Amino acid sequence: MANPQSKKTGSSRPDLGSIGGFLLGIGAILLGLTLDGGKVTEIVQINAAVTVLGGTIGALMLATPLTVLIGAVKKIGSIFFEKTPPVAETIESIIGYATQARKQGIVSLEQEADKIQDPFLRKALNLAVDGKELSQIRSIMELEIDLIEQRGEAEAKAFEAAGGFAPTIGIIGAVLGLMQVLKNLANIEEVGKGIAAAFVATVYGVGTANLLFLPAGNKLRARLRSQVQLRELMLEGVLAIVEGLNPKLIRIRLDAYLAQPASKKAARESRPAAQAAAVES
């Protein structure tokens, strides 16, 4: 029997919403600056960037457990690149497993379970093959889902914490800049330029908080919801197999997870191959 889960784990593609939104936000700010008669070079200051980013990272390291912080850093790529959950492929795999279990018994899925790449589905199906009760399978796998949610929520909160620290660090940078300006009050011509330069740190702090850190936290939560939903689908499918439900009834139950039109299209395209594989098995 064909096993899509042994080959596909979801395709990755650029998230045009994240990339376009980030560039649009920066572009709008720079355009507003130039329309007011300013120059982009006026806000390009390495010392302000070092103060804000370095201070924010330092505060974040103090406030967040290192393991959570490392996990959050690893998720930066997922903010700008979207990994489409293989919902349709997963449903077809589960229907194939259900068909085989109905014909040959659930124990016949032992070899198929070992080929599954997704550790969550592999563990759930192995528990089913081992003859665990429905309540046991549900409690064990729901605990895993809860842990995934807690871990993902902590990583999202790390970005939100950075969004809270950055503006305050920016104010600190502005105060440090003003302290240097006050040392040179004798040269009144340079005071105005110095004050303007001092506030660049505030711009960096508020800008990174509202254009990067806080939106990143929200985007990670959206990614987390997709991951949790996929695992809930897997659990429902495995429990339905253990119950011995008809594959057609299982499909009706799982098709509720196909909320996106693209997923529905993928499901229609993959059904003939999955059905043919089930007949061959």
The 3-state secondary structure of 14-45 reads ECHHHHHHHHHHHHHHHHHHHHCCCCHHHHCC
CA 49, distance to chain mean position in Å, is 26
Supply the pLDDT for residue 192.
67
The residues of the chain scoring below 50 in pLDDT are 1-2, 4, 6-8, 261-281
Please give the model's pTM, rounded to 2 decimal places: 0.79
Supply the pLDDT for residue 181.
81
Supply the pLDDT for residue 40.
87
